[in-house]
Amino acid sequence: MLKFIGPGLMVTVGFIDPGNWASNIAAGSEYGYKLLWMVTLSTLMLIILQHNVAHLGIVTGECLSESATRHIKKRYSIPILSSAVLAAISTALAEILGGAIALNLLFKMPIKVGTVLILGLIIYMLLSNSYYKLEKWIIGFVSLIGLSFIYELSLVNVSWSEAVYGWTHISIPNGSMVIVMSVLGAVVMPHNLFLHSEIIQSRQWNLEDEAIQKKQLSYEFLDTLFSMIVGWAINSAMIILAATTFFINKVHVTELGQAKEMLTPLVGSGASLIFAIALLFAGISSTITAGMAGGSIFAGIFQESYNIKDTHSKVGVIGILVIAAAAVFLISNPFDGLIYSQMLLSIQLPITVFLQIYLTSSEKVMGKHKNTLFTKIILWSIGIILTVLNIMLLISFF
């Protein structure tokens, strides 16, 4: 089974990125345990969507972007994939910015200098490392982030009865819609759907062998389920930590640096240091996956798989990361930048989800592995829920 573990964890790191940190800390510090339900709902959606898109990669040997280019007319596929590229840029912006904020917290390094340093490090890692090496690095990063939050939670007094209620009862307090959508966009991320379909088929299993394909389809679900539960636990821990330290003390958090400094008198200096180190790991690892996803989307427009030695993949990776880093220089409030970048992801998300549903429901694309009626009902329900939430977000601005 361990041979099949990895792709899910690569995706998981995308939804424990700095954008999630900002969204979750805002949710916990402003509304306590009340928005934990959004992490639960988002994770359930994520398991279904990631499992479904992984099947596309296993069955067809193509990523979502390649498949869209091959099976959809250009006048539709180009705008759809272009919006996905913009989503990847928005994602990378949050990841790079989060890494720069972590360097600022640890070494007092200016945000702009940290941005350039993170950008250079990630481009070097992506251009010089194979996928297999990167997967090991990222699994290590995820493990360290998870252990960091276990340590953080051991220092605070958690009301587990309130947490359980928050996980299982839907509540949208007045004025919380932007944060609700930022939590959604931070968990169910468009670029992760493209990334998972790319990674799962890039392992070069013998997909012509029906037995191997069936085995991979089976173990993929275990990998996805395990990885998404890990992500759910870490995201929940972030909200709980914010609720038990900031909300209960009526502290309004407006930046991640403020969160680190306020942890010191509340739970000790060790917690604030661990917070900053974990944020750095999250920023580095999630920027790697954002770059890979961007390269995969861009290469797919040319009907190519992700390969960092290929020109289109390389242009996609470097171009998306450089544009994202440049956008960081235009942001006046880093914390708000993180939250709104995640909200923008939630707006693009229904486009990617409906694209995925169309492709995985097509017999021409998936053959006998196309979606069953039951699966289509679930997927369409998710797509409709995401669309309704976006409409609610739009209404909230007026």
Please give the distance of CA 149 from its chain centroid, rounded to a whole number.
18
* 323 compared with 139, residue with greater pLDDT: 323
What is the arithmetic mean of pLDDT over 42-59? 92
pLDDT class of 206 with cuts at 50, 70, 90: very low
Contact of 28 with 263, CB cutoff 8 Å: no
Contact of 259 with 276, CB cutoff 8 Å: no
The DSSP secondary-structure symbol of 32 reads T
DSSP secondary structure of 251-266? ----SHHHHHHHHHHH
What is the arithmetic mean of pLDDT over 174-192? 84
What is the arithmetic mean of pLDDT over 196-225? 73
Return the sign of the alpha-carbon dihedral for residues 88, 47, 214, 354: negative
What are the pLDDT digits (tens) for 209-220? 677 667 777 788
Expressed as residue numbers, the domain containing 340 is 2-396
Find the range with the poorest average confidence among 48-57, 61-70, 97-106, 328-337: 328-337
* 256 compared with 1, residue with greater pLDDT: 256
Cα–Cα distance between 295 and 96 in angstroms, integer?
16
What is the arithmetic mean of pLDDT over 189-204? 82
Contact of 250 with 259, CB cutoff 8 Å: no
Please state, rounded to an integer, the average pLDDT across all residues of the chain.
86
What is the arithmetic mean of pLDDT over 164-178? 92
* 179 compared with 398, residue with greater pLDDT: 179
Cα–Cα distance between 107 and 260 in angstroms, integer?
13
Find the range with the poorest average confidence among 272-276, 310-314, 334-338: 334-338
User: Which of 18-22, 173-177, 184-188, 339-343 reaches the highest mean pLDDT?
Assistant: 173-177
* 2 compared with 243, residue with greater pLDDT: 243
Tokens of 98: 């989060």
Q: Which residues contact 299 (CB under 8 A, 6 or more apart)?
A: 65, 66, 305, 306, 307, 310, 312, 313, 316
Please give the distance of CA 263 from its chain centroid, rounded to a whole number.
25
| Tokens 């392992």 belong to residue | 203
| CATH number of the domain bearing residue 362 | 1.20.1740.10
Contact of 170 with 392, CB cutoff 8 Å: no
179: phi then psi, degrees, rounded to nearest 5:
-70, -40
Cα–Cα distance between 82 and 218 in angstroms, integer?
32
What is the arithmetic mean of pLDDT over 275-282? 85
Residue percentage of the chain with pLDDT more than 70: 92
What is the arithmetic mean of pLDDT over 181-197? 85
Return the sign of the alpha-carbon dihedral for residues 71, 75, 77, 78: positive
pLDDT reported for residue 22: 81
Q: What are the angstrom distances between the C-alpha of 295 and each of 75, 308, 312?
A: 21, 8, 7
Cα–Cα distance between 173 and 180 in angstroms, integer?
10
Q: Is the pLDDT score of 132 beyond 80?
A: no
pLDDT reported for residue 203: 57
What is the arithmetic mean of pLDDT over 134-162? 83
Q: Which residues contact 95 (CB under 8 A, 6 or more apart)?
A: 17, 18, 19, 283, 286, 287, 290, 324
What is the arithmetic mean of pLDDT over 183-209? 76
| pTM for this predicted structure | 0.87
The structural domain count of the chain equals 1
Residues counted in the chain = 398
Tokens of 293: 């996803």
Name the helix (H) or strand (E) containing 179.
helix 177-187
What is the arithmetic mean of pLDDT over 58-67? 92
